[in-house]
Structure 1
Amino acid sequence: MGKTSIFSPEQQAGNLSSKVVAALERLSATFRVLLWNEAKQHGLSPIQVQLLIFLLYYPEEKRTVTHLAHYFNMTKATISDAVKSLESKQLLTRKITEGDSRSHSLHLTKEGKAMARKVERFAIPMLDVVSQLPEDKQATLLENLLQLIYQLNQADVITPQTMCQNCRFYSQKNGGHYCNLVKSPLKAGDLRVDCPEFQFPPAEELE
């Protein structure tokens, strides 16, 4: 790209890729503002809000500090600090893993579940806007965004996400998406950002 600056409006004008990246940055900033405003209303930090929402919906085996650090692309120390703060607010508790006293899972208290349901509403303005797009354009947008995420995974910019393109059951057939678990083609709108049946490919396939 040479000396082209992503953030220079003058140079952006002649570089489509830079304009796309700048647009994504604006959307990211919008998401951060919505998240921050919601967190501030309840005396929480943005990551504390995200942890509450995650713990509300994900299974126990994923509700660990290690998994959360991987999922949110943060250090275990940062996640541990956020967990301690939520504990002090009596919004979550720890449960020792059976057979391993050094490991524990995180569980929302009654108050924590109520708070999670309040703060998850921060994304509604974005959902409302996306919902106004025709379904075919939503599907195309989803497909393109997942491809971007996949490529960032491959470049080690972010940790691999549990989405279709990273899954051992995913393949491409006849130029389209295919799930070998359900043995069925997938339309763009069928692709998942976070699949409950997700499995990483065997290590030898990643080499």
Structure 2
Amino acid sequence: MGKVSTFSPAQQAENTSSKVVASLERLSEAFRVLLWQEATQYGLSPIQIQVLTFLLHYPEEKRTVTSLALYFNMTKATISDAVKSLEQKSYLVRKASTTDTRSHTLHLVKEGKAIAKKVERFANPLQETVEMSSPKDQGLLLEQLMQLIYQLNQQGVISTQHMCFNCQFYTVKKGHYCTLIKTPLKSGDLRVDCQQFELREEEA
């Protein structure tokens, strides 16, 4: 007899891990619904919203099709289509790299920044719900979710994330510790996307 499906209510009733997976699937549905609602309102696709949000907050050296594809675990072709559409909507422009004319960085124009600031609000209901929990509970949840993300990265399901658990500066000294700033870290101090991230050598 084959393994019972994680999505079977009978399996979930007897298996905590199945209930966790089912709960994560429901949360992904909430994220997807909120994203689609915002996309429909502004005549954009969900990935276009994600691209706009990324370009609004990340430094120039990361605002490339390659970086976007790695960040969102999508093909360059998919990201290129989204970027082309945003260009046609006059929300962004490409600028050739000063060191490599084959490479371009993406820049939001005034209208692009304005729409990006509006559409990124799609995540507010999730943010507000998480903030209902105590800071301690939020930190514990963050740590558990980062462990899941790390394990999925190790299995090759998703690309390397720029978070503490992948970083050469992260270690465990009676708890989480950052050797770059030489400081112990509470669960809530852990970073999902750190600007000082450097990939651990054995994982490179």
User: TM-score, with normalisation over the residues of structure 1?
Assistant: 0.96
1:196 corresponds to which letter in structure 2?
A: Q
State the distance in 2 between where 1:195 and 1:3 align: 39
Partner of 2:82: 82
Partner of 2:203: 206
Deviation at 1:168, TM superposition (A): 1.0
State the distance in 2 between where 1:86 and 1:114 align: 13
1:91 corresponds to which letter in structure 2?
A: Y
Partner of 2:109: 109
Partner of 1:186: 185
- 1:149 aligned counterpart, secondary structure: helix
- 1:105 aligned counterpart, secondary structure: strand
- 2:146 aligned counterpart, secondary structure: helix
Q: Summarize the alignment of residues 23-34 of structure 1 with structure 2, pairs less than 5 Å apart.
A: 23-34=23-34
State the distance in 2 between where 1:100 and 1:21 align: 44
| Matched residues, number | 203
Partner of 2:122: 122
2:11 corresponds to which letter in structure 1?
A: Q
Deviation at 1:129, TM superposition (A): 0.7
Q: Which runs of 5+ in 2 are unaligned?
A: none
1:75 corresponds to which letter in structure 2?
A: T
2:8 corresponds to which letter in structure 1?
A: S
State the distance in 1 between where 2:133 and 2:4 align: 32
RMSD: 0.9
State the distance in 1 between where 2:135 and 2:101 align: 49
Deviation at 1:4, TM superposition (A): 2.2
Q: Which runs of 5+ in 1 are unaligned?
A: none
State the distance in 1 between where 2:42 and 2:119 align: 8
State the distance in 2 between where 1:34 and 1:78 align: 21
- 2:14 aligned counterpart, secondary structure: coil
- 1:132 aligned counterpart, secondary structure: coil
State the distance in 2 between where 1:156 and 1:206 align: 12
State the distance in 2 between where 1:136 and 1:99 align: 46
- 1:77 aligned counterpart, secondary structure: helix
Runs of 4+ in 1 over 3 A off after TM superposition: none
Partner of 2:8: 8
Query: Sequence identity of aligned pairs in percent?
Result: 67
Deviation at 1:46, TM superposition (A): 0.2
User: TM-score, with normalisation over the residues of structure 2?
Assistant: 0.98
State the distance in 2 between where 1:195 and 1:40 align: 31
Deviation at 1:127, TM superposition (A): 0.7
Partner of 1:135: 135
2:203 corresponds to which letter in structure 1?
A: L
1:167 corresponds to which letter in structure 2?
A: C
Partner of 1:173: 173
Deviation string, structure 1 residues 152-184 (Cα, Å, up to 9, x no partner): 00000000110110111011112x111010011
- 1:31 aligned counterpart, secondary structure: helix
Partner of 1:93: 93
State the distance in 2 between where 1:85 and 1:79 align: 10
State the distance in 1 between where 2:100 and 2:135 align: 47
